[in-house]
């Protein structure tokens, strides 16, 4: 167990930090560079509405778009096909905790709360549950906070990169380590620093979207939800 100093608010506080073998996979540099490119000139968090799948076309199979629904809880709004195949089910609308074994869900919730309340960038180390027809299967999950319609940090762009053979689905993960980083250059007055109320959206989940390119022939890489993400 290590420690990280959170200086995102007016006063400092020391937070527990889980430490593991967290050398990031090369895909993380690409998706974080895209996320950084979406940030406005004042350094605020990028808006979910500005996300365009064409910017990371070769990573869509491993991409997640997440929505915060309560402190420490998010649901999957969009999920790459590789992730759906790994779980053997359509992940749209499911909680992110569905990807974790029961014993790892409290740890995941604690990290998610920091991602949105900091806001902070999280890198989680994962280890697949083992069993019959389930060989070694590890993963790395990157979570990058984004702003929703309210301006608060209640959305996130995720990338889950795995190594090994998925084997028989579903393949859920244990949490083996976590690393949190402050979002660089975030203005102290940014509304994303104010936690979203996490209330039910009674008039639907629609929000403006960047234009999408025509889907290529064959199996799509990303499943979309009607009505918005």
Structure-block tokens of residue 84 = 């759906």
Q: Lowest-confidence range among 112-121, 156-165, 201-210?
A: 201-210
Q: Nearest-5° angle of CA 68, CA 73, CA 78? A: 55
Residue 20 reports pLDDT greater than 50: no
Instruction: Specify the pLDDT at position 83.
Output: 87
Which whole number is the average pLDDT over 133-142? 83
- DSSP letters for 40-78: -TT-PPPBGGG--GGGGGGGGGGEEEEEEEETTEEEEEE
Which whole number is the average pLDDT over 2-13? 38
CA distances to 89, 193, 207 from 225, in Å: 15, 28, 12
- Give the separation between CA 90 and CA 75, rounded to whole angstroms: 13
- The answer to whether 183 touches 121, Cβ cutoff 8 Å, is yes
pLDDT band at 113, cuts 50/70/90? very high
Buried b (16+ CB within 10 A) or exposed e, 77-103: bbbbbbbbebbeeebeeebbbebbeee
**Domains parsed from the chain with CATH numbers:** 60-182 (3.30.450.20)
pLDDT band at 170, cuts 50/70/90? confident
Residue 16 reports pLDDT greater than 70: no
- Give the separation between CA 89 and CA 124, rounded to whole angstroms: 22
- The overall average pLDDT reported for the chain is 78
The proportion of the chain whose per-residue pLDDT surpasses 90, expressed as a percent, equals: 51
**Strand pairing category for 173-182 and 2-6:** unpaired
| Neighbouring C-alpha atoms within 13 Å toward the C-beta of 183 | 30
pLDDT band at 17, cuts 50/70/90? very low
**Strand pairing category for 2-6 and 137-147:** unpaired
Task: Tell me which range, 11-15, 141-145, 165-169, 184-188, is most confidently predicted by mean pLDDT.
Answer: 141-145
Which whole number is the average pLDDT over 179-203? 64
Instruction: Specify the pLDDT at position 6.
Output: 39
Taking alpha carbons only, the member of 220, 206, 225, 195 closest to residue 69 is: 195
- The answer to whether 206 touches 227, Cβ cutoff 8 Å, is yes
DSSP state, residue 210: P
Residue 206 reports pLDDT greater than 50: no
Q: Lowest-confidence range among 51-55, 141-145, 170-174, 219-223?
A: 219-223
Residue 64 reports pLDDT greater than 50: yes
Task: Tell me which range, 21-35, 64-78, 214-228, is most confidently predicted by mean pLDDT.
Answer: 64-78
- Give the separation between CA 130 and CA 136, rounded to whole angstroms: 7
Q: Quick check: helix, strand or coil at residue 122? A: strand
Residue 70 reports pLDDT greater than 50: yes
Of residues 224 and 24, which shows the higher confidence score? 24
């Amino acid at each position: 167990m290590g420690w990280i100093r959170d200086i995102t608010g007016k006063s400092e506080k020391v937070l527990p930090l889980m430490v593991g073998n967290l050398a990031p996979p090369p895909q993380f540099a690409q998706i974080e560079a895209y996320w950084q490119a979406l940030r406005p000139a004042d350094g605020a968090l990028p808006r979910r509405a500005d996300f365009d799948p064409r910017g990371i076309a070769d990573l869509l199979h491993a991409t997640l778009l997440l929505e915060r629904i309560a402190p420490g809880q998010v649901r999957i709004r969009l999920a790459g096909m590789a992730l759906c195949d790994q779980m053997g089910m359509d992940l749209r609308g499911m909680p992110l905790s569905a990807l974790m074994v029961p014993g790892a869900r409290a740890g995941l919730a604690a990290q998610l709360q920091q991602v949105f309340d900091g806001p902070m960038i999280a890198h989680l180390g994962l280890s697949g549950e083992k069993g019959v027809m389930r060989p070694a299967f590890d993963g790395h999950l990157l979570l990058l906070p984004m702003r929703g319609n309210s301006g608060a940090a209640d959305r996130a762009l995720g990338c889950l990169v795995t190594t090994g053979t998925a084997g028989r689905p579903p393949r859920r993960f244990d949490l083996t380590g976590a690393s949190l980083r402050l979002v660089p250059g975030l203005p102290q007055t940014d509304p994303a620093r104010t936690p979203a109320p996490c209330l039910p959206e009674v008039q639907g989940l629609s929000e403006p979207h960047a234009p999408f390119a025509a889907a290529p022939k064959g199996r799509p890489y990303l499943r979309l939800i009607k009505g918005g993400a």
